[in-house]
Structure 1
Amino acid sequence: MEREDRTVYEGGQGEIIEKKSRFIATVKPVKTEEEALELIETLKKKYWDATHNCFAYIIGEGTPLKRCSDDGEPSGTAGRPMLDVLEGEALRDVCVVVTRYFGGTLLGTGGLVRAYSGAVRAGLEASVLITRQKGVKLQVGTDYTGLGKIQYLLGQRGVKILDSRYTDAVELDVLIPDEELAAVEQEITEATSGAAKLKVKETCVFALIGAEPVILEKKET
């Protein structure tokens, strides 16, 4: 997995109106094509009276699986523009369904492309998007003399402290992106003249939601 790995953490729903036609975009994170197809069928049943239920999804790493459907709209006016928005946002493991209720006025090819693209953007704005990163949970053991130096170094790098334990010494659990681990370990070692004890407790995949880290996957070392 590359460092820049964008996906949907929490789906959402957005709606736009174009010449009295309603376009409702439902965005969800999916891991498999089966999950995407299940979502599409669920929404087709929910919006059974809609004129169209068009969809697009991107699933997997490397060369991901990509599918889209115009669901009866003129070819290339719905599914492909929807997929273009997802690709433009560099998202994967995501499915979006845009439900249209016809308002009585034809939009034309260009109007449909703008409407379906705009609906997807509205759906993404209502969702929580994240960038997944590989990282490690590093345990840092120190005496109270070295604590201030370590906290300063971590603060300078924006490294998040997940947990701290204070007894006769101090233990900190910190979350560090993979590519920063070697540098952080070296800086802490130099700042404490080798007194700090460093141990990688687990590897993980994490993301920042706002300023707060959320661990998405983890593996004990």
Structure 2
Amino acid sequence: MNTAVTIYRLVEPYQYEKEIKKSVFIAHAVPVLSEEQAHEWLKKLSIPEATHNCWAYRIGQKYRSDDDGEPSGTAGRPILQVIEKQNFDQLLILVIRWFGGIKLGAGGLIRAYSGTAAECLRQAPRTEYIPQKTASILCSFSDYALLKARMAEYDAQIINEEFGAEVEIEITVPEDAYTALYDRVLDLTRGQAVIVECQ
């Protein structure tokens, strides 16, 4: 019995707005590939004049959240729990709050932040996340066209090519297809090509 959990990624940035007891909550969900990218988006989307800019992200095994002045554990952590519960990876959610004059209390804040983040994700366009490996293939010009023609068989995407004395092809390939592609590259080039996994 296969009990593997489907992990999702966001297709594109998405925004959702909700008013709760006169406070306005605006959720931004953004796909991110690195912590640096998450912080760039936070700089771009945060509104310093707003009452609070609370956020959380998950990128593989990296998790972070911030309550931005709300009582500890009432904003960032509930947003992170929404990301985990809906099985998203490589995702940042920022929830901006404009205070409307009515205090919500700790339970109310948790419901407001998690509810806004959850509804934003429910509506956002998603796709199944397939873990990828990045690799570099060094081959001769005579093998280049043949190798390039076979990439699609393994759902490999060419992300960069450099032509010098030899050709260097940088690719991404689904993790579960990497070993088969590796063997195929060596087979097609009679062991002449070099394929190295990038970190």
For normalisation by structure 2, the TM-score amounts to 0.65
Whole-angstrom distance in 1 between the partners of 2:152 and 2:64? 39
Which stretches of structure 1, 4 residues or more, deviate above 4 A after TM superposition?
Answer: 217-221
Whole-angstrom distance in 1 between the partners of 2:55 and 2:39? 10
Deviations 1:123-169 (A, max 9, x none): 213311111348xxxxxxxxxxxxxxxxxxxxxxxxxxxxxxxxxxx
2:115 aligned to which of 118, 131, 134: 118
Partner of 1:48: 48
Shift of 1:122: 2.4
For normalisation by structure 1, the TM-score amounts to 0.58
Partner of 2:191: none
| Amino acid in the other structure paired with 1:108 | G
| Amino acid in the other structure paired with 1:88 | K
Larger radius of gyration: 1
Which has the larger share of strand? Answer: 1
Q: Is the 8 A contact 1:133 1:205 kept in 2?
A: no
Partner of 2:23: 21
3-state SS in 2 of match to 1:104: coil
Aligned residues: 142
RMSD value, Cα: 2.6
Which residues of structure 2 form unaligned runs of 5+? 132-149, 158-171, 175-180, 185-199
3-state SS in 2 of match to 1:119: helix
Paired residues for 1:78-157 under 5 Å: 78-133=75-130
Partner of 1:204: 155
| Amino acid in the other structure paired with 1:41 | K
Whole-angstrom distance in 1 between the partners of 2:5 and 2:154? 14
| Amino acid in the other structure paired with 2:29 | V
Whole-angstrom distance in 2 between the partners of 1:112 and 1:79? 11
